[in-house]
Structure 1
Amino acid sequence: MSSRDVPQPLHADAGLGRRRFLGGAAAGAALLGGVTAVPATAATRDTARSEDRPVRTESGLVTGVPSARDGVTVYKGIPYAASTAGENRWRPPRPAPSWKGVRAADTWGAACPQPVTGIDADKVPPLSEDCLNLNVWTSAASSSTSAVSRERRPVFVWIYGGRNSAMWASQPVYDGANLAAKGAVVVTFNHRVGAFGNLAHPELSAESGHAASGNWGVMDTVAALKWVRRNIAAFGGDPERVTIAGWSHGSSFVNILMISRLARGLYHRALLSSGVQYTKDPALGHVAGGYSTLAAAEANGTAFTTYMGASSLAGLRALSADEIVAKVYAPGAPSAGTSFGNVLDGYVLPTTYTGAMTSRTETDVPVYTGNNKDENGASPTLAMTVAQFQAYATTTFGDRAADFLALYPAATDAEAAAQYNAYARDEERVSTFLWGTQFRTTASNRSPVYNYFWSHTPPGTDTSNPIMPGQDAASAGAYHGADLYYLFGGLDGTDRPWTDQDHTIADTVSSYVVNFAATGNPNSPARHSDPLPAWPALRTGRPLSMEIGDGFAPVPAADSDAKYAFLKTYLESQTTEY
């Protein structure tokens, strides 16, 4: 199949993808590496009104509600930690309160405080510092005599992305019903973001007991994973087969947790959607995966205190969440004191990405990672003059600018934009491939890496998910986040004009995801009667990536060997190691 061919139905269920998975759990044991999925009719019959049967968690009993897929129950808004308000603000998450009786987990939990200006009110959940809650989708059957499932299905824990806004777990694009119908137990959760999730401050570092602060959102994620470890078996999940997965900012959390000592043993595979970069890639200076040093983050925290009109940490904790959000994200707010991101704190993130590789402390788990065609600079509507393109080449590549321009020649403005796009797409694939070679050689890990390049443009626009771009697909292209619909596979919960091709792609990609969660390998198990397109694991001597979307086949890491060699040499020659 050409990398640009429209894929045809790829296995026996593909042609039924939209209808069958609207109807319920299918996909079968073959996708699950020995875990038996319950067909929709059987699930409906054997677990009739299973959402009414209480499930026992460590805090109390919960009941769920029917999801968008027959046979799948969703449990909404279960607290996994206590409120972060008052004295708990900017502290590690505390244990969740218990309750008596049965809690109806039928309503999405509150999202953490963040700016929501410009987002339609009907798409914004309640905002509260009591926001550490999670959602579980499962089609596992509980026993007829108890509320504990005897099944052990792979667990998929999702970490949302975003840049301080529209960051909550209940957006339709993160609906876990389709993956649960295919045999996974899906968990999404809310964690602290922005000023609440990343503030570092000298006083906070002093009170922490480990001379560091920041990364509160990552600590929330660890707390959610600990909750999963202790509770997920009651929902039919296997605590020994947990995949942590995230997009963009959420992907940076996965990257951190692959290094952090705090998360060891809590997960067994890692999925990073947009994604990872080679640890000397200059892009890490400005993308979500970057970080500040503790000293820089504490300096920002000190400036934040002054900007907020407080004189101490106690004064900051006395402010309302609304006051903080309004001032930090006000138009014209100074960058000093309002810049929040991941922190190289020496505790949650104990070392740099490069340091983790070279010290061989990067966690050895199977990895599924990649990037999208139209992100990190590439765009179908990019406008660039020849002069701008040449200036970029000189600034970026210095005395090798002429070599770059020979590989990506442009005589007109239209050619300049096209060649910049070609370069940006090549560099993304090369950077991800080089990260994979670091993981397999520098870190000396044995686990496989499955790297991809997403190429498909979703149709129309989406008004149901505020994290998505507002422009039409023709101008957005295969944008940052375009793959999320297909990764979860629940297209019908959103308002784009999906086609049969989209449903086929979604069926294929969501099957890759469930396979990976089950076995650490996205491919169909051996001897499957109608397997998915073969996805080869990364081999360090073969610079390839798996195209997913408009085609399903390996493609070169760059469009030519010469371009690959140039970009590899450029990235490896960088002196800043993140």
Structure 2
Amino acid sequence: MDATRRTLITGAAALAAYAALPSAGFTAEKRSPVVKTTHGKVRGYVDSEVSVFKGLRYGADTGGARRFMPPVKPEPWTDVKDALTYGAASMQSGKGEEGETLSEDCLFLNVWTPAKPGKAGLADGGKRPVMFYIHGGAYNGGSGASPWYEGTKLARRGDVVVVTVNHRLNAFGYLYLARLFNDPSVADSGNAGQLDLVLALQWVRDNIAAFGGDPERVMLFGQSGGGAKIATLMGMPAAKGLFHRAATMSGQQVTVGGPFNATRRAKAFLDKLGVTDLAALRALSAQDMLAGLKAVDPIAASGGVYMGPVLDERSLTRHPFFPDATPEGLSVPMMCGNTHDETKGFIGWDAKAFPQTWDEVIARLPGQFNARIDIDPETVVAFYRQTYPTYSPADVYFAASTAGRSWKAAIIQAEERARSGAPAYVYQVDWKSPIQGGIFGAPHTIDIGLVFGTLDAKGSIVGTGPESVAMSNTMSDAFIAFARGGDPNGGSLPKWEPYTLPRRQTMVFDNTSRMADDPRGAERQFFNRVPFTQFGT
């Protein structure tokens, strides 16, 4: 079933969709809210007093002749389109979410709003803050349909409008062809996925008031690759004015790919496919295109070929946080966070993957640093053993790989904001996942479920006990406050001060949250002896 049929359900398919949806949404016609957008009318459903619209089309099909080109708005429609199921996700190597279709026709977003249906639809004049979430998965995979991102609880708790989004990924969104083919249709191919996000934000600007949201209070938040996409948007002139707060969660973009390395990657991709001209590349099926991603990355000399945003001198004319924080983003209040044990989230929840000996730590650290931090691993281990004498080999491995691989970029972002006079609100999650007795600490992705309140979602790592609920409420309230006024203060937390130099004020989220100046300062100073290189640059 193609994406249009899948997202714009009619006839018998609509009856099947109704049967699978929460019964509260379809007890009466008044419980099926209809909203008029700039492209046409859409019908959602009600779940727990929140109106839900899934699979809203914000852009036209990007396949066929439009492959590698900037997105365009969809053609308007005259009937009422059902927005009851998630739209297709971008083509990617993985399977996507359960039951999810993968397609080049993937420019869809989802809306959760507490606005009550009435004679004017949902435009009740509420002017609620809009929390626009961008999914992770690097620039390679993922979608806005993860059960971790389900927006009902967050929308209801904060009286906010929640939006999640799909956009083009990997080669479909970031294959830089401008230096390989002298064809204006691929001039923007290296940042097409970012331009999709700009179009989605334009849709929010033009339509979110009809869903009870305030187009002048749009907050971007995103974890991992989502945070990196947000940092990149902060340096894109086309995105300026479309969002008014930004929160990057364990995902930063200090520098983007340069045009020469991006061209080498594109060449490796084409060589893997055995394609030499643009017409042949466009003629490939979307599924066949994915095979090119298996090319060995010519810059990293290992792994699949990287695709990400490019300094193309069109959409991006400078790096987001080099040599300083991009001026376009300085007027946007910013939150920048990380977790204490990021790299424990990269081993598949397998305690057997914990290193057992110091020799094993020394052997495995270079693979975690992956050229981001080029430093002798024996020196790293010696520093940690002296600084933290009670640490086990596993403790040292995860602390060092987190500090070198993930945390360093967050520090750069925060420091450059502080130097530019627009300091960010910085946080660190120390609160431990209850999985397997807490041995995984605060791993990568733990803040997603805490902020969304999706504690019982499939695959959740945050638990549903009283401590989980309390930590989720605290983090949700801070993010909601930030969305509402550009300042996370006002909830149960102690006063949260912006990050300034040399103090480096940081909110540490835990069962008892606290402000700390320069937490893990010894580790920060140690890794300052070598430069950080953003992967993909």
Query: TM-score if structure 1 supplies the norm length?
Result: 0.76
Q: Answer yes or no: is the 8 Å Cα contact 2:109–2:166 preserved in 1.
A: yes
- Deviating beyond 6 angstroms after TM superposition, the runs of 4 or more aligned structure 1 residues are 377-380, 390-393, 395-404, 410-414, 573-578
What one-letter code is carried by the residue in structure 2 that aligns with 1:349?
L
Residue 167 to residue 236, structure 1, CA distance change in 2 (3 Å): same
SS, match of residue 109 in structure 1: coil
Q: Answer yes or no: is the 8 Å Cα contact 1:115–1:164 preserved in 2.
A: no
What one-letter code is carried by the residue in structure 1 that aligns with 2:204?
V
Match of 2:265 in 1: 300
Please list the CA deviations of residues 48-73 of structure 1 after superposition, one character each: whole Å capped at 9, or x if unmatched: 96552321101101111123xx2101
Q: Among residues 94, 99, 109, which one is paired with 2:77 in the alignment?
A: 99
Q: Answer yes or no: is the 8 Å Cα contact 2:234–2:326 preserved in 1.
A: no
CA distance in 2: counterparts of 1:202 and 1:264, whole angstroms: 24
SS, match of residue 419 in structure 1: helix
What one-letter code is carried by the residue in structure 2 that aligns with 1:502?
S
Q: Answer yes or no: is the 8 Å Cα contact 1:200–1:213 preserved in 2.
A: yes
Residue 166 to residue 72, structure 1, CA distance change in 2 (3 Å): same
Q: Among residues 299, 307, 322, which one is paired with 2:287 in the alignment?
A: 322
Match of 1:25 in 2: none
Q: Answer yes or no: is the 8 Å Cα contact 1:246–1:272 preserved in 2.
A: yes
Q: Does 1:366 align with 2:333?
A: yes
Please list the CA deviations of residues 8-63 of structure 1 after superposition, one character each: whole Å capped at 9, or x if unmatched: xxxxxxxxxxxxxxxxxxxxxxxxxxxxxxxxxxxx9xxx9655232110110111
Q: Answer yes or no: is the 8 Å Cα contact 2:220–2:230 preserved in 1.
A: yes
Greater mean deviation of Cα atoms: 354-363 or 482-491: 354-363
Match of 1:186 in 2: 162
Question: What 5-or-longer segments of structure 2 have no aligned partner?
Answer: 1-23, 299-303
Please list the CA deviations of residues 257-284 of structure 1 after superposition, one character each: whole Å capped at 9, or x if unmatched: 111101000000001010337x5xxxxx
Bigger relative CO (Cα 8 Å, ≥ 6 apart):
1
CA distance in 2: counterparts of 1:204 and 1:228, whole angstroms: 35
Aligned CA RMSD, in angstroms, stands at: 3.5
Match of 2:529 in 1: 570
Q: Among residues 506, 528, 533, which one is paired with 1:545 in the alignment?
A: 506
Q: Among residues 228, 231, 255, which one is paired with 2:231 in the alignment?
A: 255
What one-letter code is carried by the residue in structure 1 that aligns with 2:110?
N
Q: Answer yes or no: is the 8 Å Cα contact 1:153–1:184 preserved in 2.
A: yes
Superposed displacement of residue 555, structure 1: 3.0
Match of 2:43 in 1: 63
What one-letter code is carried by the residue in structure 1 that aligns with 2:192?
W
Match of 1:9 in 2: none
CA distance in 2: counterparts of 1:255 and 1:75, whole angstroms: 27
Q: Answer yes or no: is the 8 Å Cα contact 2:250–2:444 preserved in 1.
A: yes
Q: Does 1:351 align with 2:318?
A: yes
Superposed displacement of residue 576, structure 1: 9.4
CA distance in 2: counterparts of 1:90 and 1:149, whole angstroms: 39
Q: Answer yes or no: is the 8 Å Cα contact 1:385–1:413 preserved in 2.
A: no
Match of 1:335 in 2: 297
Please list the CA deviations of residues 51-108 of structure 1 after superposition, one character each: whole Å capped at 9, or x if unmatched: 52321101101111123xx210110101000001101111100111211121111111
Q: Does 1:167 align with 2:123?
A: no
Residue 488 to residue 226, structure 1, CA distance change in 2 (3 Å): same
Residue 311 to residue 407, structure 1, CA distance change in 2 (3 Å): closer
Give 1:105-144 correspondences, 5 Å limit: 105-116=83-94, 123-144=98-119
Match of 1:490 in 2: 454
What one-letter code is carried by the residue in structure 2 that aligns with 1:335?
D
Query: TM-score if structure 2 supplies the norm length?
Result: 0.81
Percentage of identical aligned residues: 32
CA distance in 1: counterparts of 2:388 and 2:449, whole angstroms: 38
Question: What 5-or-longer segments of structure 1 have no aligned partner?
Answer: 1-43, 280-289, 461-471, 526-530
CA distance in 2: counterparts of 1:88 and 1:124, whole angstroms: 26
Q: Answer yes or no: is the 8 Å Cα contact 1:276–1:370 preserved in 2.
A: no
Greater mean deviation of Cα atoms: 223-232 or 507-516: 507-516
Match of 2:173 in 1: 197
Give 1:388-407 correspondences, 5 Å limit: 405=382
Residue 52 to residue 499, structure 1, CA distance change in 2 (3 Å): same
Match of 1:213 in 2: 189
SS, match of residue 342 in structure 2: coil
Q: Does 1:534 align with 2:495?
A: yes
Please list the CA deviations of residues 407-447 of structure 1 after superposition, one character each: whole Å capped at 9, or x if unmatched: 64289997444334444556665653443231122x333xx
CA distance in 2: counterparts of 1:54 and 1:434, whole angstroms: 45
